[in-house]
Chains A and B, each alone.
Chain A
Amino acid sequence: NAGVTQTPKFQVLKTGQSMTLQCAQDMNHNSMYWYRQDPGMGLRLIYYSASEGTTDKGEVPNGYNVSRLNKREFSLRLESAAPSQTSVYFCASTSGRVLTGGNTIYFGEGSWLTVV
């Protein structure tokens, strides 16, 4: 039972390079999320997908794009990485909606990204 799997776990990028963070869940969840966690700022929502084929912006979407490839997979792309995007990125999923609650939210183990 893998839960939420993120790849890669660690990545160093040069400013201006692009990369994609991959996330997959095996729990048949409808909703998937990408968060970033920074010291002193806490966790902030980047993008979310309430169902296959839909995506919506969160609190800090600038500089990122997402794709809900299918029900299992939700990828986060940095088109032109900047030092300000150095962070720990977490993918999460749940079967229902965060707002209505009642369902456990599962987080991946995180992806540590450094942009130099």
Chain B
Amino acid sequence: KQEVTQIPAALSVPEGENLVLNCSFTDSAIYNLQWFRQDPGKGLTSLLLIQSSQREQTSGRLNASLDKSSGRSTLYIAASQPGDSATYLCAIPQGGSEKLVFGKGTKLTVNP
């Protein structure tokens, strides 16, 4: 059974800092991995999707990497801004099913 872990649960940084969020998974036989953002009281917004054949994906100031052999993905945020404050979740399909297994998220606070 796939398990997804995100550490730390919360992170506070000053504005302008580059930062890395971590996502670990137990089963390396994954099809894809997605990163989402959730603002308080809102739904999830898809940020990046990495297919199992890819090593990284980029969108603006965000860069997600995938290392299946070590069971890790990282989300790199460059030049963080207060507007980046949110909870970031990673998710992986449970092997052979439509069920997405979510990590519990990292709550990011970017201080002005």
Q: Which residues of A contact B (CB under 8 A)?
A: 4, 31, 33, 40-45, 48, 50, 56, 58-59, 90, 92, 97-102, 104-110
**CB pair B98 A50 closer than 8 Å:** yes
Q: What residues on B are CB-neighbors of A44 within 8 Å? A: 102
B6 CB to closest chain A CB (Å) equals 9
What is the bound-complex CA distance between A67 and B29, given in angstroms? 32
| Bound complex: CA A106 to CA B47 (Å) | 11
- A97 CA to B94 CA in the complex, in Å? 12
Residues of B within 8 A of A105 (CB): 34, 44, 46, 100
User: A40 — which chain B residues lie within 8 A by C-beta?
Assistant: 104
Within 8 Å by CB of B96, from A4, A41, A99, lies A99
On whether the beta carbons of A43 and B89 are closer than 8 Å, the reply is yes
Interface size class, chain B: 20 to 34
A16 to chain B: closest CB distance in Å? 28
Chain B nearest CB, measured from A51 CB (Å): 11
Nearest chain B CB to A46 CB, angstrom units? 10
**In the complex where A50-B98, A90-B43, A109-B43 touch, is A101 in contact with B31 (Cβ < 8 A)?**
yes
- Complex interface: chain B residues within 8 A of A59 (CB): 99
Are A101 and B44 neighbours in the complex by a CB distance under 8 Å? Answer: no
Q: A-facing mask of B29-47, CB < 8 A → 1, else 0?
A: 0011010000001111110
CB neighbors of A among B56-112 (8 A) = 89, 91, 93, 96-100, 102-105
Dominant SS among interface residues on chain A: loop
Chain A contacts for B42, CB-based, 8 A: 109-110
Q: For residue B41, which residues in chain A have a CB less than 8 angstroms away from its CB?
A: 109-110
Is B23 at the interface (CB under 8 A from chain A)?
no
B105's closest neighbor in chain A, by CB? A42
B98 touches A99 (CB 8 A): yes
Residues of A within 8 A of B32 (CB): 100-102
Contact, CB under 8 Å: B104 / A106 = no
* Known A98-B93, A99-B31; contact A42-B103, beta-carbon cutoff 8 A: yes
20 pairs from A and B in contact (CB 8 Å cutoff): A41-B104, A43-B100, A43-B102, A45-B98, A48-B98, A48-B99, A58-B99, A92-B43, A98-B93, A99-B93, A99-B97, A101-B32, A104-B49, A105-B46, A105-B100, A107-B43, A107-B45, A109-B41, A109-B42, A110-B42
